[in-house]
């Protein structure tokens, strides 16, 4: 792990220890970005930081944090400030999917789910924007999901949470594009990672047809290309694009245009 030279641009990646987050870290390091990697598992982050620093010669910082803790987003940004890191790219990737129905779950579990995937995503975004605006350049990728386009699942908050991330990202992209900041909601479908193992849904996931699955690297390539092109929504993979449009009567591209043009609160 290196930390003696700060490059022109630094990317903050949450949930960076595995899956899509680790793939984003590798992709951005290969493009020359310095990194601030955040996840709960410090040993995983350190190993990834050593790998990327040696492979690409970029500075990589790690900060072990549980973003379901309300204090964590501020602590992450305080760490960045202490180490003179200016966050030019934010990848809000950390997430989970509860398998317990709403009425059977404890409130602390539900609150942690909301804190991780709603509050922390929103707070980190809010905290990095002033610096991006000052530098007139920024890229923000918020991990939504194909589930944001689908009917809600009985007793689960996941589709509602991911719908929030989808809509919030579009609203911010409308606001911030004039400042050189692009915001994209990345909406993958089923992706090969440790996510299903951690959530206890591996058996059910393995029964799904292979055509529905993507590799994390493919998701990252499409998502990173989309945010650089200024696309507010990215649904990676041909099958996922078909499904997302089938779920909604009004195409998501048209929804974005309508939302930007006919804002009753403007």
**Structural domains in the chain?**
10-261 (3.40.50.720)
Q: Which of 63, 158, 164, 256 is catalytic?
A: 158
Active site residue 63: no
Q: Which pLDDT band, with edges at 50, 70 and 90, does 240 fall under?
A: confident
- Over range 68-84, report the average pLDDT: 98
In this prediction, residue 265 carries a pLDDT of 45
19, burial (CB in 10 Å: exposed 0-12, middle 13-18, buried 19+)? buried
Q: Which pLDDT band, with edges at 50, 70 and 90, does 239 fall under?
A: confident
Is residue 215 within 8 A of residue 237, CB to CB? The reply is no
Over the stretch 138-183, which tens digit does the pLDDT of each residue have?
Answer: 999 999 999 898 877 777 899 899 999 999 999 999 999 999 999 9
Over the stretch 182-194, which tens digit does the pLDDT of each residue have?
Answer: 999 999 987 766 5
Q: Which long-range contacts (CB under 8 A, 24 or more apart) does 199-208 make?
A: 199/96, 199/97, 199/98, 199/99, 200/99, 201/97, 201/99
First-to-final CA distance of the chain: 47
Q: Which pLDDT band, with edges at 50, 70 and 90, does 266 fall under?
A: low
Listing DSSP states for 102-131 in one string gives TTTS-HHHHHHHHIIIIIHHHHHHHHHHHH
Q: How far apart are CA 43 and CA 142, in angstroms?
A: 25
The mean pLDDT of the chain is 88
- Mention every residue, 6+ apart, whose C-beta is less than 8 A from residue 132: 87, 88, 138, 176, 179, 180, 181
Whole-model pTM: value is 0.86
Chain CA centroid to CA 85, Å: 20
Listing DSSP states for 81-105 in one string gives HHTT--EEEEEE-------S-TTTS
Give the up-direction half-sphere exposure of residue 214: CA atoms within 13 A in the CB hemisphere: 24
- Over range 41-58, report the average pLDDT: 96
Over the stretch 116-136, which tens digit does the pLDDT of each residue have?
Answer: 999 999 999 999 999 999 999
In this prediction, residue 4 carries a pLDDT of 44
Query: From residue 73, how far is each of 17, 77, 94, 213, 262 by CA, in Å?
Result: 17, 6, 12, 31, 33
Q: Is the pLDDT of residue 112 over 80?
A: yes
Residue with tokens 């499904």: 243
């Amino acid at each position: 792990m290196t930390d003696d030279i700060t490059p022109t641009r630094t990317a903050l990646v949450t949930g960076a220890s595995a899956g899509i987050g680790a793939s984003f870290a590798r992709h951005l390091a290969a493009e020359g970005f310095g990194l601030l990697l955040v996840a709960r598992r410090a040993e995983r982050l350190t190993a990834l930081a050593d790998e990327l620093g040696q492979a690409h010669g970029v500075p990589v910082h790690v900060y072990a944090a549980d973003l379901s803790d309300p204090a964590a987003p501020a602590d992450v940004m305080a760490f960045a400030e202490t180490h003179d890191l200016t966050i030019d790219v934010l990848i809000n990737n950390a997430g989970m999917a509860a398998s317990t129905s709403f009425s059977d779950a404890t409130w602390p579990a539900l609150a942690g789910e909301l804190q991780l995937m709603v509050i922390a995503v929103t707070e980190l975004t809010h905290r990095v924007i002033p610096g991006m605006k000052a530098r007139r350049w920024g890229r923000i990728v918020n991990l939504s999901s194909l589930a944001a386009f689908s009917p809600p699942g009985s007793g689960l908050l996941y589709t509602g949470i991911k719908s929030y991330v989808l809509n919030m990202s579009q609203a911010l992209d409308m606001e911030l594009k004039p400042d050189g900041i692009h915001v994209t909601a990345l909406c993958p479908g089923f992706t090969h990672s440790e996510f299903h193992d951690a959530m206890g849904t591996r058996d059910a996931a393995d029964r799904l047809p292979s055509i529905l699955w993507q590799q994390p690297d493919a998701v990252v390539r499409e998502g990173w290309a989309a945010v650089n092109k200024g696309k507010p929504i990215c649904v990676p993979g041909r099958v996922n694009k078909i499904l997302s449009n089938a779920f909604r009567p009004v195409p998501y591209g048209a929804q974005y245009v309508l939302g930007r043009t006919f804002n009753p609160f403007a």
